[in-house]
Structure 1
Amino acid sequence: MTFRQFALNNVIRNKRLYAAYFLSSLFTVMVFFTFAIFAFHPAFFNGGIRAEVLYGMAVAGGIIYVFSFFFVLYSMSSFLQSRKKEFGLLMMQGMSTRQIRLMVFMENMLIGLFATLIGVLLGLVFAKAILLLAENALVIDETLNFYFPLWAILVTFVSFIGLFLFISLFVSFILRTRKLVDLIKADKQSKGEPKASVILAILAVALLVAGYATALYVKGQMVVMAMLPVIIVVTIGTYLLFTQVSVYLIRRLKGSKGIFWRKTNMVLFSDLSFRMKDNARTFFMVAIISTVAFSAIGSLYGFQSYLTGGLKEANPFSFMYASSEDNKENDMEEDVRAIEEKMDEYDIEGESGQVDLTYFNRNDGEVLITSESDYNRFADMLGERKVNLDNDEAIVIGDSNRVLAPQSEKDRLMDSPVELADGTTIQPDRLLESSHVLPEMYSYYIVSDTAYERLPEPDTVETSTAWMADKGQEDALIQAGEAIFNEIGGYNLVAVDYSLYQINKVYGPILFIGLFIGIVFFVSAGSFLYFRLYSDLDQDKDKFKSIAKMGLTDNELKKVINRQTALLFFTPIVVALVHGAVALTALSHLFDYNLVNEAALVLGTFAVIQIVYFAIVRYFYTKQIKRSVYY
């Protein structure tokens, strides 16, 4: 058997540990290759697609590549930690340190080569599907046809072979510091139970509470100013949480006889406490990486929802055209006729309505007062609730969006009566939260038709025409909106579907890139947990095998393993979910926009993925333990 064959056999024999390393590296290569396919696509170089999309892809590829370096480095370090005894035995058999370094170098380059090749091949297999997905996600007009990405293959291959080469040389170099006695006794030496400082544990809680309280308390632009200090404080608090608070809690639980001596808790807490130092570092790293993934994707998705949701909420009609007294009447009629002609051209069906918005000057500004019948006509077009007023009754309409209609504005109108032409007044008796039934950004009055006729002459009159298209005509509305803007311009015109299309066209690439980077981070965090679990597999086999001889039943064994793996997988993820929830809440305070649904969707999706991943890993891990115990 040659030395190269010996290195190959080592990879095959250690396929359990190398599997996660190989698959994670393969996934990283495939994602990088996907970005390279976009970056070198002919559509970009023909000038048909915006340059900022290309720039964003290049930045994303750089971030993935840099992160891949640290991920592969950590993966190799974790793998080598579990092979100390193997290296010691090889040295006892006469293998020199130089040969061990060469063996590790060859093994790592072998894995890197196959991960790169298979990652590129899988990228080619799914290239067309990915390009189709990108067409919709990036919201581009051009078709991203399939092509043979020669430059993408070359860049990916050279970049990752160079990455694996550098890391292989680096890892091989640091093996020179190992002593034979340390290698042979690697699985026998106690790492020692870490001691917790009460002061540092209290400091950890204080830092986290202070960081959370600040993030949840600040509003508006203060969120941006507080962001960096909060991130630093929470990061330090998270590290101390795992290194100090967790150790302190375990020691307290071990000191409680009612808990520690209950059923199999002794096995669970003793083992967890013994390995807490290593677990704490892994927990911290996974929590921070997962928080970055949650916060990045949640922020990008939340900001897009803020832009599109706010626009749709403020402009519920398909088209809205407004003309004031300063416009000539024939110009308004000509523009309205042009809009209707374009709607007919694109076969858009629906209903329309026109209303005169009457504004009255007051000491504190201008306010809209409209009639019950005008409001109900537009409410009927939107399917909104109509109002029913008595004679000489007035109500205030306040939008639920606090940015467009702040509570102080609503309260001010409720305290201010409506003045009629004969000098009498009508005090509003109720406040209704409503969507933008009428094209008015701020709160306004609705009065009965009889009271509306008794109002004085308005100071300003604006005529607004609205068109509400039937559902299922989104594509036609976008095309018609673009045509209308090209013909009459954007003055006093809102075509909400076309505006949403423009926003998504600009924001789509950002969300698409952020999603991929977040997924890479989250997959890497899951791989860290996999390495942490399986690096101690041999020790766990010996431990449970010994305990089983003392009478540990199959159900008790399964319970201990489930709790042990659950603590490893969900402790950092729960912390990351809390961090992410606080971060997204702070983002909602920045824009004064409710992001509960968006945050729940993003965090819930990641939580479900982690649960599925945990179930899969736990199944195979339990299978390995049981096989060593009972066979």
Structure 2
Amino acid sequence: MNFRQFAFKNVFRNKRLYAGYFFSCAFSVMIFFVYSMLAFHPELDFSGKGGYGQGAQTSMDVSQYIIYFFTFFFILYSMSVFLKSRKKEFGICIMQGMSDLQLRRLVFLENVIIGLASTVSGIAIGLLLSKGMLIMGSTVLTLEQPLSFYLPTKAALFTFVAFALLFIFISLFTAVILRSSSLIDLLKGTAKPKPEPKASTFLALLAAFLILAGYVIAFVVRGAMVIIALLPVALIVSIGTYFLFTQLSVYMINKLKKNQKLYRSKTNLITLSDLAYRMKDNARMFFLVAIISTVAFCAIGTLVGMKSMFTAKITESVPAFKYESYAGNPQEAEHSKLIEQELTEAKINYEPLVIQKKRLEDAETKKSYSIISETNYNKITKEEIQLTDGEALLFYPDNMGFGGQPVGQEKQISLQDGRTLDIKENTVLPIALQQVEFSRTAIVSDAVFQSLSESLTESTSYVFHVEDWRQTLNVSKQLNEKLQGNGEHYSFFSRAYDLNDINQGFGQILLTGLFIGAVFFVAAGSFLYFRLYADLDHDRAQFRSITKLGLTEGELSKIVSTQIGLLFFVPIIVALIHGAVALNSLQNTFNANLVKESALVLGSFTIIQILYFLFIRANYVKKLKEVM
């Protein structure tokens, strides 16, 4: 048996250790390949479809490199944990006469074998799942026609070359890791430190204070202040999270151990005795998992929330159809007739509304207002207001807390002829009025409206209300094409068309967020998997000894379930709380209700984690029971 055969057989002899590393790598390759398959799909090039399309295409291209960049560090970390679990094996090889050069060559060959196998496997699995992924992509992107299946040769070649180079580089890099380890370090393997973990009371209290302070700031700030406070809060909470796992957790466990009644109850003595060591040993890994999971939650939650907010805003403020004609438009009558004709031919029932508007500049403040008569206002809002010639209602767009010019403070409007109008009401634009005008708007009596001089800034809004507006996309596209988008003297808007544009752009961005979030979450799960199985030999020896003292299988299952449950759920619960606070800040930023979207995202990740825990727990308990 030559050296290459030895390396090849070594991979297959110890399937348990190699399997976790292999599947993590294969899954990362599969995620990257599926994403590349969608990125290179000939029907998903939105770069020439307006601002949203160009932005979405750029984000998709950039995200591909982000996924690859993060995957590199994920696989590098996985490799370091994988090598750490094999230190004792390497030490025995050196004792048998293997040189450092041969050991590095062995590890290099093993990594190349696993890397190439996982690359080919990841691409193959991606191909098998490609049809389902294309359907999922069509759903997320809300495409009118499902994405057609194609042979992703470019994506497969790109993925293979990218990951082949990645695994070769990582395999070479591991030589540096091994060279720094002495024989005695290798033979000690993953043995745990003997001294009992200690915790600083000051740092434990500091952890609680920092996290609480970060949460309070996140809940208090509103509007533009959320953006300003983002980095400081993230830094404060991150430091607090690190001390939470390294200090506060150990501090609390030690306090629990001092409660003799609790400590000596049932199997708590075994559970709590080992728990402090596990928390201390895994503190950095817990911190890493918590932060990575928080990033995944926030990335996906923010994208889902933003898409929901923009969709809701367009649905509220953009009418089914709106034709805005400016002063001097020679095609006004022709275009309004064309819209009515197209809607009639498509058998779409509509309710037309024609609103005349004028522009006015305040003689003193120089602020500009859009002026609508009280009669037209009553048509729009279905109200019955009556204004005197000296009164006005003033409405302004909601700046969502982002500042800008002070609004809601005007008391009077000064006309150019010296007259003044007292503002009777000063508030945010109502939804019905937003469908006609979205700038600062004043409502005046019919007499005042008629007395205002005509100007080139006058306009007329032709609004068409349609009950079943979701079925108007085809008509909207036809009208948009015939009216050639926006002309010099007019503008055309359609709710279905604008929503479709938003869905295409945000759909692509959401798709990238889902894949990046999936990579992050898989990375977090793999960290937990490697950490758990790195302790398997130690746990086997420990429980074999305790079993001789009378530990039953039921008690073993209870202890292991508690320990694995803490390993899996403590960092995830922390991440869920961090994510919920972050998504609440997003709500505060835009004054929107994102409870449904936040619950959907966080709930989905929680369910996945529970299923992952149940699967790993069943297999781990089975491995431990083999020694009883």
The counterpart of 2:65, out of the listed 62, 68, 78, is: 62
Which among 215, 221, 224 is matched to residue 221 of structure 1?
Answer: 224
| 2:464 matched residue in structure 1 | 467
- Which deviations, in whole Å up to 9, do the C-alpha atoms of 1:91-138 show, x marking residues without a partner? 444444443333322222111111011112233334455445545645
- TM-aligned CA deviation for residue 346 of structure 1: 3.8
Alignment gaps of 5+ in structure 1:
380-385, 417-424
Counterpart residue number, 1:613:
612
Alpha-carbon spacing, 1:613–1:182, altered in 2? closer, same or farther (3 Å): same
**Structure 1 residue identity aligned to 2:506:** Y
Q: Determine the structure 2 residue equivalent to 1:108.
A: 111
For 1:259, the equivalent position in structure 2 comes to 262
User: What's the counterpart of residue 419 of structure 1?
Assistant: none
Please give the alpha-carbon distance, in whole angstroms, between the structure 1 residues aligned to 2:610 and 2:430: 40
The residue number in structure 2 matching 1:76 is 79
Corresponding letter in the other structure for 2:293: S
Task: Quote the residue 2:432 is aligned against.
Answer: 436
Tell me the alpha carbon deviations over residues 28-57 of structure 1, each in whole angstroms, 9 at most, x when there is no partner: 212222344455556689987766655434
Contact 1:43 1:142 in 2 (8 A): no
Letter in 2 for 1:13: R
Which one of 467, 481, 484 corresponds to residue 483 of structure 1? 481
Question: Match for 2:281: what amino acid?
Answer: D
- Structure-2 change in CA distance of 1:453 and 1:470 (3 Å): closer
Counterpart in 1 of 2:500?
501
Give 3-state SS (helix, strand or coil) of 1:110's partner.
Answer: helix
1:598 to 1:401, Cα distance in 2 relative to 1, 3 A: farther
Mean CA deviation greater in 63-72 or 359-368: 359-368
Contact 1:320-1:467 at 8 Å conserved across structures: yes
Residue deviations 1:569-595, cap 9 Å, x none? Answer: 111111111222222222233333333
Instruction: Decide which moves more: 226-235 or 114-123.
Output: 226-235
Aligned to 1:535: 534
| 8 Å contact from structure 2 (residues 23, 118) kept in 1 | yes
When structure 1 is superposed on structure 2, of 137-146 and 562-571 the one drifting more is 137-146
Give secondary structure in 2 for the equivalent of 1:275: helix
Paired with 1:625 and 1:370, the residues of 2 have a C-alpha distance of 81
In 2, Cα distance between equivalents of 1:170 and 1:427: 73
- Select which of 89, 95, 98 maps to 2:92: 89
- Verify the 8 A CA contact 1:400 1:434 in the aligned structure 2: no
How do 1:131-146 and structure 2 match up within 5 A? 131=134, 133-134=136-137, 137=140, 146=149
Structure 1 match to 2:587 = 588
**Shift in CA distance, 367/188, structure 1 to aligned 2, threshold 3 Å:** closer
Query: Residues 47, 494 of structure 1: CA spacing in aligned structure 2 closer, same or farther, 3 A cutoff?
Result: closer
The SS at the match of 1:192 is: coil
Distance in 2 (alpha carbons) for counterparts of 1:412 and 1:261: 71
Q: Structure 1 residue 24 and structure 2 residue 24: aligned?
A: yes
Larger mean Cα displacement after TM superposition, 257-266 or 183-192: 183-192
1:506 maps to amino acid: G
Distance 1:622 1:463, change over 3 A: same
1:372 positional shift:
10
1:227-266 superposed matches below 5 A: 227-266=230-269
Give the Å deviation of 1:605: 1.6
Could you say what secondary structure the match of 2:551 adopts? coil
Greater Cα offset, 76-85 or 6-15? 6-15
When structure 1 is superposed on structure 2, of 152-161 and 195-204 the one drifting more is 152-161
Deviates more, 1:465-474 or 1:101-110: 465-474
1:75 shift after superposition: 0.9
Q: Determine helix, strand or coil for the equivalent of 1:486.
A: coil
CA contact (8 A) 1:360 1:369 kept: no
Amino acid at match of 1:529: L
> 1:565 maps to what in 2?
564
Distance 2:551 2:394 in 1: 69
1:526 aligns with 2:541: no
Alpha carbons of structure 1 residues 433 and 256: separation in structure 2 relative to 1, 3 Å:
farther
For residue 473 of structure 1, report the CA deviation from its aligned partner. Answer: 0.8
SS at match of 1:157: helix
Aligned position for 1:7: 7
**Normalising by structure 2, what TM-score?**
0.82
My pick for the range that moved more, 89-98 or 218-227, is 89-98
Give the whole-Å Cα distance in 2 for the aligned partners of 1:170 and 1:198.
40
Q: Gapped runs of 5+ residues in structure 2? A: 414-421
- The farther-off stretch of 284-293 and 179-188 is 179-188
1:163 — aligned with what?
A: 166
Distance 2:450 2:183 in 1: 98
Report how many residues are paired.
605
Q: Deviations over 1:289-336 (max 9, x none)?
A: 111111112222222222222121222x31134568x567x8654332
Report the Cα distance in structure 2 between the residues aligned to 1:179 and 1:154, rounded to whole angstroms. Answer: 40
How far apart are the structure 2 equivalents of 1:294 and 1:25? 22
- Mapped to 2, the partners of 1:26 and 1:58 lie a distance apart of 22
In structure 2, what is the Cα distance between the partners aligned to 1:387 and 1:54? 45
Cα pair 1:360 1:368 within 8 Å, conserved:
yes
- Normalised by the length of structure 1, the TM-score is 0.81
Aligned partners of 2:294 and 2:576 also within 8 Å: yes
8 Å CA contact 2:528–2:567 kept in 1: the answer is yes
Check conservation: 2:401, 2:590, Cα contact below 8 A: no
> Match of 1:466, SS?
strand
Q: 1:122 aligns with which of 118, 121, 125?
A: 125
State whether residues 374 and 385 of structure 2, in contact with CA within 8 Å, keep that contact through their aligned partners in structure 1: no
Cα deviation code 1:512-558 (max 9, x no counterpart): 22221111111111111111111111212222222233222333222
